[in-house]
Structure 1
């Protein structure tokens, strides 16, 4: 539970530190939650692959602003566990399209339900659409700034 000192800590914390704190606490929750298995980082990739048909390995790297090597390593783990298939794109033989297997779909649904439960417990599900749109806008702008500085 929170105490008076915790409220002071969050009141004086910069916005980006709040976002970081929320993210870190989500990871800590994932570690404690038995449904997460060992899918803390790979789980978010699995959920996304399951939701977005026709997603490529490069698309996944762009979505999560991760290196292609980091994504390839995670996908290898997911593939070895039987959760994901990489299918060569018919239009570009150097590109892989990602698809969840039956087991991958089942796990993705379980992980997504756990995520929704966590979001409900911390109140994220109560955010109005305007606030969610503002946060997405901030995320887009933060990426655009990086692209503009390249």
Structure 2
């Protein structure tokens, strides 16, 4: 494999992060798929499932599955939105709140692990490059791109 593939490296980092999170949160009974929802809910209490999907850029079906699982485990609860009876707002339970520090510690631990040995300038360069790349690909209309 002579070609340098950023996508391959990002994919490896993603899979390794999933393993790290699954291992670190096993005792809490939170998996890597649920982890990102808990992180988002800590900062967006009462968000609708639809807005949560948009925020995390995850399809509605996957969001519904994750929220259902978290609800069954007692980490979150849903309330029907008064303005839209078809929609749910999601809140963190006391059990979910009791895990907040551990979940944040896991996120920080992963960041520390993958940035080990980097000075602050290198870290900021890598972070800003990934952020710029993410923002750029989020603006792409893939249907139009494939027609060209």
Counterpart of 1:135?
A: 130
8 Å contact kept, 1:35–1:111: no
8 Å contact kept, 2:45–2:92: no
Task: Give the total of aligned pairs.
Answer: 140
Matched, 1:114 2:106: yes
8 Å contact kept, 1:27–1:40: yes
Question: Is the alpha carbon distance of 1:36 and 1:138 closer, same or farther for their aligned partners in structure 2, counting shifts above 3 Å?
Answer: farther
Counterpart of 1:144?
A: 139
SS of the residue corresponding to residue 91 of structure 1 reads: coil
Q: What's the C-alpha RMSD, in Å, of the aligned pairs?
A: 2.6
For 1:14 and 1:36, how far apart are their aligned partners in 2?
Answer: 35
Structure 2 residues without counterparts, runs of 5 or longer = none
Counterpart of 2:69?
A: 77
SS of the residue corresponding to residue 79 of structure 2 reads: strand
Question: Is the alpha carbon distance of 1:93 and 1:121 closer, same or farther for their aligned partners in structure 2, counting shifts above 3 Å?
Answer: same
8 Å contact kept, 1:36–1:111: no
Structure 1 residues without counterparts, runs of 5 or longer = 1-8
Counterpart of 2:6?
A: 15
For 1:36 and 1:103, how far apart are their aligned partners in 2?
Answer: 10
Structure 1 stretch displaced more, 105-114 or 76-85 = 105-114
8 Å contact kept, 1:35–1:114: no
Counterpart of 2:83?
A: 91
For 2:76 and 2:95, how far apart are their aligned partners in 1?
Answer: 9
For 1:81 and 1:36, how far apart are their aligned partners in 2?
Answer: 10
Residues 33-57 of structure 1 show CA distances to partners (whole Å, capped at 9, x for unaligned) of 3456342211111111111234210
| Partner of residue 21 from structure 2, selected from 20, 30, 33 | 30
Instruction: Give every structure 1 segment of 4 or more consecutive aligned residues whose post-TM-superposition deviation is greater than 3 Å.
Output: 34-38, 146-150
For 2:15 and 2:90, how far apart are their aligned partners in 1?
Answer: 27
